[in-house]
Amino acid sequence: MSIFEPSEGTLVVVPSLSLPQDELRRITAARSYEERLLFLLLTLREPGVKVVYLSSAPVDPDIVDYYFAFLPDPDDAAKRLTLISLDDPWSQPLTRTLLDRPDAVERVRAAIDGDAWLVPFVLSELEEELASLLNVPLYGPATSLSYYGSKSGAREVGHEAGVPMARGFGDVRSELQIEEALEALPGERVIVKLNDAYSGLGNAIVTKADRSLTNFSAAGETWENYLRKIRDRGAVVEEFIEHRPLYYPSALAQITPGGQARVLATHDQVLGGPNGHVYQGCTFPAAPEYRAEVGQSAARIADILAERGVIGLFGMDFFALKADAGYAALLCEINLRIGGTTHPFGAALLTTGATYDPATGHLMSGDQPKFYTATDNCASGCLRGRTPGEVMRTADRLGIGFDAERSTGNVFHLLGAIPEHGKLGFTSIGNSREEADELHALTRRLLCGP
């Protein structure tokens, strides 16, 4: 079972952001991130597949039509798609609101036909309760295994897999433990990461000599408030890698319900924010200098997680740096959920029909490798107030849409964030690294300005 290539059955997509809400509120147009999984509408190219897609607010019909335009028979696909909106965009997370609405749960149940899987963005106890009510299996790791997706759990799995990591300490929950870690670790600075944070928003770079110089990823954070989060949620303290240049590759992996683990892709992450730790986008594949090492380390980690009973999609983040004998890749964290590289990979896979070659780390469409550059953060004031349909028509007129004959071009997402926030995302697919990067830069200039 792969959500990218189902041959039949119903995908019940629940893109609920069932995550710590304090960090989530800092993301512009966070509610629209429910739309990142709309690439799964492309699975409707298979006549035996149905999709039930939930959302807090209605999905603009132009957005649905945009994805249907990639399909060979949009009219037939429309018959096999059920969109269920709770019409409550401000009540988060989505799954909690759904569970408070028995009528909506019944609508979901009525839309399920035959074999089905519940596909959550992230799996929490809320999604487990929903799956139980619907009597539908989950495509994701049980919450009893969630520790392995924490920053502390990642260090434990990394040690067992024999994967290199930065020196550090896990399961830190007090100021005294932080002080002990500061004393034990080398260098003038360390990085502290909340166990369950995401997109780098729970990170802090701490200067040993002066706490007032602490650099938080989340704007407006204070040391006192951060300590409360550490006590409640736990953290890791690791050496801050001063080596430059430093690269940030990641790996996307899948474990089937039958326990088969495989690496699907490697990426280089594009990071930004106040301390350069907040996810902005990615490029595929990861650079050749460290691509193989990242893939091999990811495979060892995936095998261990499969033995523990994890299923579904998950990501692993690394640091890569040049060493005396080549490049070294250090495990940074494991994210047991659908992450920021999943929708670009899914969009590229489903629009080009390519397959991943683990030997080279390339997506191959016949003999042609495919490359892409993706972002979640294209924003411009000139986009605000426009409709998704208007922007997509503009993209086609400018020649930056998708060319079905060459299987290159842009696949857009986060379109629902355009009217209010002037924000969207896109994946630029090319037949070379240069072509993908040039298209991406051109698209940014045309839609987002300099």
pLDDT tens for each residue of 387-414: 999 999 999 999 999 999 999 999 999 9
Range with lowest mean pLDDT among 10-14, 51-55, 211-215: 211-215
Q: What is the pLDDT of residue 201?
A: 75
Q: What is the pLDDT of residue 301?
A: 98
The arithmetic mean of pLDDT across residues 104-109, rounded, is 96
Range with lowest mean pLDDT among 78-92, 201-215, 268-282, 314-328: 268-282
The rounded distance, in Å, linking the Cα atoms of 317 and 333 is 5
Give the SS3 label for residue 174.
coil
Q: What percent of the chain has pLDDT over 70?
A: 96
Q: What is the pLDDT of residue 24?
A: 54
**C-alpha angle with apex 307: 305 to 310, nearest 5 degrees?**
45
Torsion of CA 450, 384, 41, 438, to 10 degrees: -10
What's the pLDDT band for 81 if we cut at 50, 70, 90?
Answer: very high
Query: Which residue is it, tokens 């999604």?
Result: 127
Instruction: Indicate the length of the chain as a whole number.
Output: 450
Q: What is the pLDDT of residue 278?
A: 76
SS3 content of the chain, % helix, strand, coil (to 5): 35, 30, 35
Residues with Cβ < 8 Å from 135, sequence gap 6 or more? none
* Amino acid, res. 138: L
- pLDDT tens-place string over residues 1-12: 688 888 899 999
The arithmetic mean of pLDDT across residues 82-108, rounded, is 92
Residue 25 has pLDDT above 90, yes or no: no
Q: What is the pLDDT of residue 217?
A: 84
Contact 358, 427 (CB under 8 A): no
Beta strands in 111-260 (DSSP E): 116-120, 168-172, 189-194, 203-207, 215-216, 235-239, 249-255
The arithmetic mean of pLDDT across residues 10-35, rounded, is 74
In 292-320, which positions are buried (b, 16+ CB within 10 angstroms) versus exposed (e)?
Answer: bbbbebbbbbbebbbeeebbbbbbbbbbb
The arithmetic mean of pLDDT across residues 124-143, rounded, is 95
Beta strands in 188-311 (DSSP E): 189-194, 203-207, 215-216, 235-239, 249-255, 261-272, 278-284
The arithmetic mean of pLDDT across residues 297-309, rounded, is 97
Query: Which residue is it, tokens 């290539």?
Result: 5
Average of per-residue pLDDT values in the chain: 92
Residue 23 has pLDDT above 90, yes or no: no
Q: What is the pLDDT of residue 211?
A: 81
Query: Which residue is it, tokens 């729970």?
Result: 202
Helices (H), 48-122: 61-68, 74-79, 94-99, 102-111
Provide DSSP, 177-195.
HHHHHHHHS-SSEEEEEET
Q: What is the pLDDT of residue 389?
A: 97
Q: What is the pLDDT of residue 88?
A: 87
Contact 424, 391 (CB under 8 A): yes
Contact 250, 234 (CB under 8 A): no
What's the pLDDT band for 198 if we cut at 50, 70, 90?
Answer: confident
What's the pLDDT band for 30 if we cut at 50, 70, 90?
Answer: low
Cα–Cα nearest to 380, from 443, 307, 305? 443
**Which H or E run contains 343?**
helix 342-352
What's the pLDDT band for 448 if we cut at 50, 70, 90?
Answer: confident
Dihedral sign, Cα of residue 184, residue 187, residue 189, residue 192: negative
What's the pLDDT band for 19 if we cut at 50, 70, 90?
Answer: low
Q: Judging by DSSP bridges, how do beta strands 49-55 and 9-14 pair with one another?
A: parallel
Q: What is the pLDDT of residue 36?
A: 92
Residue 368 has pLDDT above 90, yes or no: yes
* Amino acid, res. 248: Y
The arithmetic mean of pLDDT across residues 307-327, rounded, is 93
Residue 418 has pLDDT above 60, yes or no: yes
Q: What is the pLDDT of residue 197?
A: 81
Residue 40 has pLDDT above 80, yes or no: yes
